[in-house]
Structure 1
Amino acid sequence: MKLNVRYEHDIPVNAFRWTPKSYKEPLHYHASLEIGCCLSGRGTFYFGGKSFTAAPGDVFIVNNSELHIAESDPESPCEFVFVNFDPGLWQKEDEMLLLPFCYPSGEFLNHVPADSPLAKELEPLILRIWTELRDKPDGYRSMVKGLLLQLGASVLRRQAGLVSERRLTVQRSAFRELRTLLAYVEERFAEPLDLKDLAGRLGVSPSRASRAFREATGRGFAEYVRQLRLNEAKRQLVVTDKPITDVIFDSGFQSVPSFYRLFAASEGLSPADYRYALAPVAISENPER
């Protein structure tokens, strides 16, 4: 089951306290990344076919494509603080921070035991992000971004120290190839794009390119391109006074009705109402309002 994450702040980061149910709920996944720590109690964390005991101080790292869920011990329910964020925050600063999240499920290290040096390093960063987003002191956005970068760098160094140099070299090479593909998509998303043609650029089969795309982004190719186009449409609605039909086609969409359905499902508003809410000056000059 896929969960659609909506961010509660004007930066794509959520932080929340969570007590799992005392029974195993259906596993889910989401396109965002998560890192969290157990504060109290006991339980079990499931990642696909893997499971780990959760105890105070344990840190859990959640990939963006791996099914997961936690379950509390009925006698001592566990409580977590989790940070959930858009991987684009790391990609813009240092794309290598995403390397640990590109390992397949069997090799991905989800559990960081409480007594490890890394857990002791990550837990205060997680808690600080949570308090910054809760209290919103001056400069909290910059502080949260900086703390997230520290989280990413720590996890990257840990992964590099736990796999062979040969395996790390192979993974880095594959990662760079995929990032080249993503950069190409992000540059040309407003144009017609075909996965088969893009796979040819990597010299792999379309099925392999599709799997690699999902492993890296947590989304299928078509969904990823739709989201890029939707983000661009939202940007243009706010910062330009173009007619809405021009925004639709300039963002890469080919059908006005399908765009309206997608936009309403994503934002809960029509494009005109979205523009009016966020850019009242521009909307006053727009003939489509």
Structure 2
Amino acid sequence: MRPVRKTFESLPDFPFSLAFRDTKTPQNELPDHLHDWYELVYVHSGKGSFFIDRTIYDMRVGDLFIIPGNTIHRALPDKEDPVTSTALFMSPLLVEQPSFGEAFTYLQCFDQSRKQHLFQMSCSAALQMRIESLLNQIEAELRSQQLGYRHAVLLNTQRLLLEINRDRNNGKQHKSRAAFKGPNWMKDILLYIDNHFTEDIGLGSLSFMASVSPAHFSRVFKQLTGMNVTKFINAKRIVHAKELLLETEENVGTISAACGFESLPHFHQVFKRIAGVTPHQFRTQA
């Protein structure tokens, strides 16, 4: 199973999408997916787990998950009490704004999540009320489509991000409930992959490191992440390749080698399968 490139129903000049109060079950949940857009997931009810990047979190009422673009993630709903959540997707370009001489951006919370590898906020009752009110207003504007509704959606989204950033920076959120539901070796392996995905690693070497059989390793890894080892490592490499394509002027061949691919054709094949475009197209379209 490879990571799904999630697509969004939105207008080219309004890169925004909302999945409002959607109930997820193990049958209708997507496998691990990644996309360029930024994502907020707020839990209204139910419970489950959420695998993000290298950690598995408990999902509970009032939890908010802050997921930057190009982050592998997968929700794992509980069979008996599935999660009902609202997912807000947006291009970071949507909320770009002048600094006004202040060290603040709406995307601060996403930057912090990426740097700290901490993607969950357990919201206070007061913050839950504010988040739910703003999500309700966004959904109502999208449904009614009255004059200026896109502007209203943007304003409410900006207010939502402002509330989240203020609460996060004030340290009001409860401690994250990252709960690794698996053997200790799996937690160590995910961290090892995160630090060594550009190297020559695979099922054989990783299972040896974990002191378990390859068959057992593969079964547990896929159960917890939704992907096999090769697909997971390739996804990590392509995320890194995207960063290098945007942030450096290195040629594609150099980037391919830096990301751990043995040949340029294989890099092109994997990149297009995961990103939907060639490396050159990705760089020129950005």
Q: TM-score range by the shorter chain?
A: 0.5 to 0.7
C-alpha contact (below 8 Å) 1:37/1:60 kept by paired residues: yes
SS, match of residue 34 in structure 2: coil
CA 101–124 in structure 1, closer or farther in 2 if over 3 Å, else same? same
After superposing the two structures, state which structure 1 stretch, 63-72 or 20-29, moved more: 20-29
Q: Distance in 1 between matches of 2:47 and 2:119?
A: 17
1:14 matched to 2:68: no
Q: Distance in 2 between matches of 1:62 and 1:89?
A: 16
Deviation, structure 1 residue 86? 0.8
Q: Distance in 1 between matches of 2:283 and 2:56?
A: 33
C-alpha contact (below 8 Å) 2:113/2:119 kept by paired residues: no
Q: Distance in 2 between matches of 1:4 and 1:93?
A: 30
Deviation, structure 1 residue 139? 1.9
Q: Distance in 1 between matches of 2:58 and 2:278?
A: 31
In structure 1, the partner of 2:285 is 227
Deviation, structure 1 residue 60? 1.9
Structure-to-structure mapping, 1:1-289, within 5 angstroms: 1-9=3-11, 11-17=14-20, 18-22=22-26, 26-92=31-97, 96-103=105-112, 105=114, 107-162=116-171, 195-196=249-250, 224-228=282-286
Structure whose alpha-carbon radius of gyration is higher: 1
Aligned residues: 184
Query: Could you tell me which amino acid in structure 2 is paired with residue 120 of structure 1?
Result: M
Query: Could you tell me which amino acid in structure 2 is paired with residue 21 of structure 1?
Result: T
Query: Could you tell me which amino acid in structure 1 is paired with residue 17 of structure 2?
Result: N
* Sequence identity percentage: 21
Q: Distance in 2 between matches of 1:194 and 1:38?
A: 38
Q: Distance in 2 between matches of 1:136 and 1:117?
A: 29
C-alpha contact (below 8 Å) 1:15/1:81 kept by paired residues: yes
Deviation track 1:27-81 (CA, whole Å, cap 9, x = no partner) reads 2211101112222222112212222222233222221122111121111111111
After superposing the two structures, state which structure 1 stretch, 154-163 or 83-92, moved more: 154-163
In structure 2, the partner of 1:249 is none
Structure 1 alignment gaps of length 5 or more: 164-181, 186-192, 198-206, 209-217, 229-289
TM-score (norm 2): 0.53
SS, match of residue 116 in structure 2: coil
SS, match of residue 14 in structure 1: strand
CA 37–4 in structure 1, closer or farther in 2 if over 3 Å, else same? closer
Query: Could you tell me which amino acid in structure 2 is paired with residue 32 of structure 1?
Result: W
Query: Could you tell me which amino acid in structure 1 is paired with residue 284 of structure 2?
Result: R
In structure 1, the partner of 2:187 is none
CA 13–104 in structure 1, closer or farther in 2 if over 3 Å, else same? closer
Highest RCO, 1 vs 2 (Cα 8 Å, sep ≥ 6): 2
TM-score (norm 1): 0.53
